[in-house]
Chain A
């Protein structure tokens, strides 16, 4: 009795797994791109200030970048 229940449970699991595999094929994302001549057709990019630590604060990101750029001027960095 226990053996029959175990074997039927295995069959159910196997059928569910097979069904899952078959259905996974239906979940494929479309790979054909609809081109629009002369305009960028790819994915949109995030703005560099949209992520942490800036969290959308563009001014803060720009200030950090300005400081970083100015650090390339060794005359000012070294007080020469």
Chain B
């Protein structure tokens, strides 16, 4: 297998935050920590788009490069994970990350910055698989269960794809070739167009007016 990656299709993302909710629910993430979030671009103007962002599990990960205690590691599947027992909560990874993926819990009397928490691609961490310690520190290990990240599997419009980089790139390419580009991507014709040779198109799609 190639490296595990996420891919978000901005044409499909409807900004429902289902991925964010799925992540929080799956790993019982505390208040104030968002391993995944939806970012809106050009809000309120034509061309508004939204994409779901989390750790992109970079091949040349800047967080891994700047960590002073070397608590990050790359797994065989290309995931960037870290050992929370080593993390000192310095925040260097947060400054280095272009996606704002590292999160810091702020629970406690003085809102101190705790140990870094981030998306694990639902692959747990360096504790025995399926152990309570792994779940408490890193969340559920869906990858060892043979499942993909909860955010991607939960996505209603399949805007967010996760898995083997080559395979999701093929799925995206296939999708773009089928749907075309520009105005054909969205609208009445896309939603209600019948496959060729199956019945007559609805009046609106044929240029009629809605009653």
Say yes or no for B146: interface residue by CB 8 A criterion: yes
**Complex interface: chain B residues within 8 A of A72 (CB):** 148, 152-153, 158, 161-163, 168, 171
Chain A facing B: main interface SS: loop
- Given A33-B86, A42-B73, A68-B126 contact (CB < 8 Å): no
Query: Considering the complex, which residues of chain A in the window 37-80 have a beta carbon less than 8 Å from any beta carbon of chain B?
Result: 37-51, 53-54, 61-62, 64-66, 68-70, 72-75, 80
- Given A45-B81, A66-B167, A40-B148 contact (CB < 8 Å): no
Q: How far is the CB of A17 from chain B (nearest CB, A)?
A: 28
CB distance A46 to B83 under 8 Å? no
- Given A42-B82, A44-B126, A51-B130, A73-B174 contact (CB < 8 Å): yes
Q: How far is the CA of A50 from the CA of B82 in the complex (A)?
A: 19
Query: Considering the complex, which residues of chain B in the window 106-135 have a beta carbon less than 8 Å from any beta carbon of chain A?
Result: 123-130
New contact pairs (14) apart from A45-B126, A48-B141, CB-CB < 8 Å = A38-B70, A40-B71, A41-B69, A41-B83, A43-B127, A51-B129, A53-B146, A54-B146, A69-B168, A72-B148, A72-B153, A72-B158, A75-B174, A75-B175
